Amino acid sequence: MSDASAQAAVCWQPEIERMDREALEQLQLERLEATLTRVYRTLPFYRQRLDAAGVDPDAVRSVEDLRRVPFTTKEDLRASYPYGLFAVPLRDVVRLHASSGTTGLATVVGYTRNDLRHWGSAVARVLVAGGVTREDVVQVAFHYGLFTGGFGLHQGAELVGASVIPMSSGHSRQQLRIMQDYRTTALACTPSYAMHLADELLEAGVPRGALSLRLGLFGGEPWSEGLRRQLEEKLQISATDNYGLSEVLGPGVAGECGEKRGLHLAEDHLLAELVDPVSGAPARPGAVGELVLTTLTKEAFPLLRYRTGDLTTLTTERCACGRTLARMGRVLGRTDDLLIVKGVKVYPSQIEAVLVALEGADPHYQIVLTRRASMDEATVLVEVSEAIFFDEMRRQSGLRETIARRLAEELGVHVAVRLVERKSLDRGDGKAARVVDRRGA
């Protein structure tokens, strides 16, 4: 443990962030009970759900009792588009955002004045945990708009008292120029955009010494320790991960402290559970599971047991930083990516990793799921170059066998492999459909 962590780290709201767990549990129980009472009274959706499940909200008397309450899913939110799950009249709402959602309808979320205040302080916590102070110049390079990233980080940074540059995303060269001229010390954006900026920096020939950057506050998408190392090295910063989703709050749901060993959750505003994504039962202690969140203070858009679709771990172990708030691990993937092939769990990212590592295989691929005798089977279609496809049949079958073997080694289950012509897989609007599910067919 570093010297710095021996003494308690600076917190934005120490009375919450270092609260003893017993007092926190009392607070969570009080807020959960009030939320249930309010939601049951005001929202027919939840009233019907609870009634159908035979759950009397008055009978929920502990955090464990919450497990009897049915889950709320993304589909439920879509079905109530746009305002069906608002618990207050629209005139009490002072801000509207929407979740992007690559498929289907967006989800509109509303915030009351109190909701905005809570959101701001939750983001401020994450920023301060990541090292931001009022001395910093924070360049917010998240998109400003319906997406919660830009405005979320903005109001948190402003609350901390930093000098906030509302850059939004895009216009990389301009970002870099402002970063130099305004002496930006902290960059808030997605890790992939940070990587793009780092590459642009190199390309533009800007010497690193021309920047004042010292912190990176990255979130909004899954990334890795490997990418953290690269970003910290290329930009010479300390980079922390923060997590959020607009349905629940936006950024501020959780963020890393200086220890960089898990993201502290805003447990005074949210109740976090980890469940087995298939059975919905509580995940085994220490196991990977799907994060399920219940809001505890939301006035406009409360949610009961929302399935985030994000796979992670959860621990209440004491952190060396002194915060007592539970930590989630990095998001490891999405449940909607999770494939179960012949009983074995497979993530498309694992398949991609194998393909990328193999020379000759293009990382353009598609996983086709079929079902035979109630067993799921997967076929991986891989695009190969024209030369290989037309001229070298023997090499081709060699490549196919190599891919199949390596996939079997990696995944622990055999999947069929087919080579297809370049550009034969539908890329739609730029995003290839990675998984085609024909199990129902």
Partner 1 sequence: MLRIRNLEVAYGRRLALRRVSLHVDQGEIVSLIGANGAGKTTLLRTVAGLVRPAGGQVLFRGRDTAGLATERVVALGCSLVPEGRQVFATMPVLENLLLGATVQYRRGRRAEVEADLARAYRLFPRLEQRAGQLAGTLSGGEQQMLAMARALMARPALVMLDEPSMGLAPLVVKDLFAAIRTVRAEGATVLLVEQNARAALRLADRGYVLETGRVVLEGSARALLDNRDVQRAYLGGEPSAAREGERP
Query: Interaction with partner 1 in 51-110: which residues (CB under 8 A)?
Result: 58, 61, 88-89, 91-92
Q: Provide the terminal-to-terminal Cα distance of the chain, rounded to the nearest Å.
A: 55
Which element (helix H / strand E) includes 213? none
296 is a site residue for Zn ion (CB under 5 A): no
CA separation for the pair 281, 103 (Å, rounded): 27
Choose the binding region for partner 1 from 29-37, 147-155, 337-345, 417-425 (rule: CB under 8 A): 29-37
Contacting Zn ion (CB under 5 A), which of 124, 248, 257, 311?
257
299 is a site residue for partner 1 (CB under 8 A): yes
CA separation for the pair 358, 407 (Å, rounded): 11
Contacting partner 1 (CB under 8 A), which of 4, 8, 14, 37?
37
Nearer to partner 1, 33 or 276 (CB): 33
Nearer to Zn ion, 125 or 323 (CB): 323
Binding partner at 64 among partner 1, Zn ion, none, C-beta below 5 to 8 Å by kind? none
29 is a site residue for partner 1 (CB under 8 A): yes
138 is a site residue for Zn ion (CB under 5 A): no
Closest approach, Cβ 29 to partner 1, in A, equals 5
Closest approach, Cβ 54 to partner 1, in A, equals 17
CA separation for the pair 313, 262 (Å, rounded): 9
27 is a site residue for partner 1 (CB under 8 A): yes
Say if CB 87 and CB 116 are below 8 A apart: no
Nearer to partner 1, 85 or 291 (CB): 85
Closest approach, Cβ 174 to Zn ion, in A, equals 35
125 is a site residue for Zn ion (CB under 5 A): no
328 is a site residue for Zn ion (CB under 5 A): no
Closest approach, Cβ 39 to partner 1, in A, equals 10
- Cis previous bond, 82, omega within 30: yes
Query: Interaction with partner 1 in 99-158: which residues (CB under 8 A)?
Result: 112-114, 117
Closest approach, Cβ 297 to partner 1, in A, equals 7
34 is a site residue for partner 1 (CB under 8 A): yes
Give the angle 29-33-37 at the CA atoms, nearest 5°. 170
Three-class SS of 37-92: HHHHHHCHHHHHHHHHCCCCHHHCCCCHHHHHCCCECHHHHHHCCCCCCCCCCHHH
Rg of the chain over all Cα atoms, to the nearest angstrom: 23
Which element (helix H / strand E) includes 107? strand 107-111
Binding mask 303-322 for Zn ion (x = CB under 5 A): ----------------x-x-
Choose the binding region for partner 1 from 36-44, 174-182, 247-255, 304-312 (rule: CB under 8 A): 36-44
CA separation for the pair 411, 118 (Å, rounded): 43
CA separation for the pair 235, 94 (Å, rounded): 38
What is the token pair recorded at 169? 């995303």
265 is a site residue for Zn ion (CB under 5 A): no
CA separation for the pair 44, 83 (Å, rounded): 13
Contacting partner 1 (CB under 8 A), which of 4, 8, 14, 41?
41
Nearer to partner 1, 110 or 219 (CB): 110
Binding partner at 24 among partner 1, Zn ion, none, C-beta below 5 to 8 Å by kind? none
Give the closest residue to 5 by CA, choosing from 431, 430, 319, 371.
Answer: 319
Binding partner at 41 among partner 1, Zn ion, none, C-beta below 5 to 8 Å by kind? partner 1
The number of C-alpha atoms within 13 Å of 235 and in the hemisphere containing its C-beta is 33
Give the number of residues in contact with partner 1, rule: CB under 8 A: 23
What dihedral angle (degrees, nearest 10) is formed by the CA atoms of 72, 76, 80, 84? -10
> How far is residue 299 from each of residues 35, 122, 126, measured CA to CA in Å?
9, 15, 22
Choose the binding region for partner 1 from 25-33, 192-200, 203-211, 348-356 (rule: CB under 8 A): 25-33
Using CB under 8 A, list all residues that contact partner 1. 23, 26-27, 29-31, 33-34, 37-38, 41, 58, 61, 88-89, 91-92, 112-114, 117, 297, 299
